Structure 1
Amino acid sequence: MGGAFIAAAVLARLGGRIGLPTIPLFILAGMLLGPHTPGYVLVHDPHELEMLSALGLVLLLFYLGLEFHMDDLKTGGRQMALAGGAYLALNVSAGFGFGMALGWGLSEALVLAGVLGISSSAIVTKVLVDLDRIGNPESRPILGIIVVEDIFLALYLAALQPVISGADSVGSAVAQGGKAFGFLLLLAAAARWGTKLIGRLIATKDDELLVISFLGAVVLVAGIAEEFGVADAIGAFMVGLMLGQTGSGDRIRELVHPLRDAFGAIFFFAFGLSIDPGDLPLVVWPVLIAAVITVAMNVLAALVAARIYGFGRGPAANVATTLLARGEFALILATMSANAALDERLGPFIAGYVLVLAVLAPLAAGRSHWLARYLPRIGEQKPVTNG
């Protein structure tokens, strides 16, 4: 664990001197020191960091929930649903069509629909934090789309498992989906009506007790969420949503920063450990084509979001580039497809696709003004002048 932190820190410092974002450098550190590359192997089994990696993802999404105010959900629910629905419709359908065009099989196409369709909540969150854009107006639809995606993926995973495993259990899939949706409704109700009670329970003047309290709450609820078939990330997000509205919200946001950054780095490092560079040349063309499709669909979805929210070209470009990254959900699907003995090309493809977009997304987001020059003026308002 110490070696992982040091390796990630050294590469990030070197990359920072030439303007590279930290996320792909953390991933690169994992690749270089993992079991799939020549030279010194720091971690022989990526599963050794599995718990720390999961904690990093949970804390990243918890922080996202802290920054996403309930007022945004209450006042922008319809816009959020429209923007998120449009994003999913464009990207998931494009992913399914791409999978069918490859000819790998129907189950494989359903897996690719999810891989190409869902953004990485962890990477998107890290990009917003690194670029100091959490408070930007366009971050509201970005976070809203992530929420819609997380709700969708919880149900998608429950429905997809019996399909790709070849089991004829539609009733079981419906029951699992219903259980997951019920738990999400319970969390949403607690976030909507239980804030005052939760605030009184967690309130304390002692920073040490506050850290222990919110860390225990977020990890516990994330674990319970998994038992109900809901992604631990969305459980962590909902806890952040609740605690962010309490009187301790500002202190929690400050105290969680070092935890979020440290364990977030381990999450990306552990992802790099799982990538075997030797498998990537076998799927290089499908990976590049899929990346181009994703860029195109993200631009279209961003233009739709700009029209819904009344944004100009700059915010639309930020939406398009920030949501490019794919990550943790794609890795879950890769594991599911391997367990279901699907086409063996899926694993290398998903690893290569995620790595390309994990590198491209932070770079593109930091230079989104280049894309903004070529976007139409959808939703852009005329300037107001005095007199």
Structure 2
Amino acid sequence: MGHADTLLAMGGAFLAAALLARIGGRVGLPTIPLFMLAGILLGPHTPGVVLIENSHDLEMLSALGLVLLLFYLGLEFHLDDLRRGGRRLLAAGGVYLLLNVGAGLAFGFVLGWGVGEALVLAGVLGISSSAIVTKILIDLGRLARPETRLILGVIVVEDLFLALYLAALQPVLGGAHEPAEMALQAAKAFGFLLALAAVARFGTRLVGRLIAVRDNELLVITFLGAAVLVAGVSELLGVADAIGAFMVGLILAGTDSAPRIRDLVHPLRDAFAAIFFFAFGLAIDPGDVASVAGPVAAAAALTIAMNLAAGLVAARLHGFGPQPAANVAATLLARGEFALILAAMAAAAGLDRRLAPFIAGYVLVLAVLGPVIADRSGWLANALVALRRDASKQTASVTMR
């Protein structure tokens, strides 16, 4: 694309996303699926106006949107909460991984597309979208709710698992089966995460002094540069770039500059997040998705069931009632950016050609359903209360007999 074409495409993308979001807001729809819908409608795979021919033209802006979303998530997460939650958060995250990753692996084998495909599907069905989860919490104003710490804790556990999972999966898909090579990649990824966690735990005072400036412009350049640089280093070491950005946010959350950083990052986060979801839509071909509609529907139903079960268990571990349990289950439902990373890895490895459209359709369905269900989680909570009431009545009836 030429310079003028790039500017026209970017401007059109922003305005199209804003227009659809405003229309959707009037009928109570969340912004995430609307940003994606704008990308689908104005992309190369649907008839009519084609604003951008190739989603890769927005690749850097899209990556920046993901980095800023996870950076902000790190700013909102406090290491003390994770340390205090400790075993319960690890248990809750473990339940999510066990049910969802296990279900994804089993589903992959049932489809019969191959062992490599099943391993990819385990991650696709097993890992929530940190970007969409963050956006849901922001849009619905739930960052201060008690169960949000549980949600963020599960996301952290999933992301730590993801770093090791990607490190192990990449050499397998690339044809490298040497255990030593796989162990080395996993060790590099885990060691890098441990180093960042150590800085977040013990180095915030020093980091706070290094970034302490009065000028807002310098502060923006500093934290943005740090987030992007560490994200790049993470990618080189086999850790998802978004995880590196999250860890930078976690480190800066413990500094005196954190409140100012949160205020300054808001407009950047919202603008580039819109481009991230718009570019997400550009890559989806509705025609390809239709060919795997059956498996997509089955996988979405399976994920909803597993998330509901995991949400109930996690909420019970933390002593939460039906409404927080419904919020946890619904918020963590969406799948997104990490599934697309796996789709790209699968395509590069020459796996079954049905895998890419399946992942695109599955992610689209849950990226739409996730925010909608989360916004209406009160209905789910009422259903849980009704089920509990019916179960109590049946128990009492059996006891009386």
**Normalising by the residue count of structure 2, what TM-score does the alignment of the two structures yield?**
0.93
* Alignment-mate amino acid for residue 171 of structure 2: P
**8 Å CA contact 1:283, 1:348 repeated in 2:** yes
* Alignment-mate amino acid for residue 283 of structure 2: S
* Alignment-mate amino acid for residue 321 of structure 1: A
Aligned-residue offset at 1:41? 1.2
Q: Tell me if 1:189 matches 2:198.
A: yes
Task: Tell me which residue corresponds to 1:116.
Answer: 125
Tell me, in whole angstroms, the C-alpha distance in 2 between the residues paired with 1:49 and 1:296.
35
Which residues of 2 match residues 79-228 of structure 1 at below 5 A? 79-228=88-237
- 1:255 maps to which of 260, 264, 268: 264
Tell me, in whole angstroms, the C-alpha distance in 2 between the residues paired with 1:166 and 1:207.
48
Which residues of 2 match residues 284-363 of structure 1 at below 5 A? 284-363=293-372
Partner of 2:210, secondary structure, is: helix
Tell me, in whole angstroms, the C-alpha distance in 1 between the residues paired with 2:66 and 2:86.
25
- 1:366 maps to which of 363, 375, 384: 375
* Alignment-mate amino acid for residue 352 of structure 1: G
* Count of residue correspondences: 378
**8 Å CA contact 1:162, 1:170 repeated in 2:** no
Tell me, in whole angstroms, the C-alpha distance in 2 between the residues paired with 1:206 and 1:96.
51
Tell me, in whole angstroms, the C-alpha distance in 2 between the residues paired with 1:199 and 1:83.
32
Q: CA RMSD in A?
A: 1.1
Task: Tell me which residue corresponds to 1:52.
Answer: 61
Tell me, in whole angstroms, the C-alpha distance in 2 between the residues paired with 1:362 and 1:168.
39
- 1:8 maps to which of 10, 14, 17: 17
Which residues of 2 match residues 370-381 of structure 1 at below 5 A? 370-375=379-384
Tell me, in whole angstroms, the C-alpha distance in 2 between the residues paired with 1:375 and 1:274.
37
Partner of 2:16, secondary structure, is: helix
Tell me, in whole angstroms, the C-alpha distance in 2 between the residues paired with 1:23 and 1:169.
41
Percent sequence identity over matched residues?
A: 72
Tell me, in whole angstroms, the C-alpha distance in 2 between the residues paired with 1:161 and 1:212.
33
**8 Å CA contact 1:57, 1:122 repeated in 2:** yes
Tell me, in whole angstroms, the C-alpha distance in 1 between the residues paired with 2:221 and 2:86.
32
Tell me, in whole angstroms, the C-alpha distance in 1 between the residues paired with 2:87 and 2:201.
16
Tell me, in whole angstroms, the C-alpha distance in 2 between the residues paired with 1:69 and 1:307.
22
Give unmatched runs, 5+ long, in structure 2.
1-9, 389-401
Aligned-residue offset at 1:262? 0.2
Q: Tell me if 1:231 matches 2:240.
A: yes
Tell me, in whole angstroms, the C-alpha distance in 2 between the residues paired with 1:337 and 1:227.
19
**Normalising by the residue count of structure 1, what TM-score does the alignment of the two structures yield?**
0.96
Tell me, in whole angstroms, the C-alpha distance in 1 between the residues paired with 2:290 and 2:228.
38
**CA deviation digits over 1:344-381, x for unaligned, max 9?**
10011000000000110000001101111232699xxx
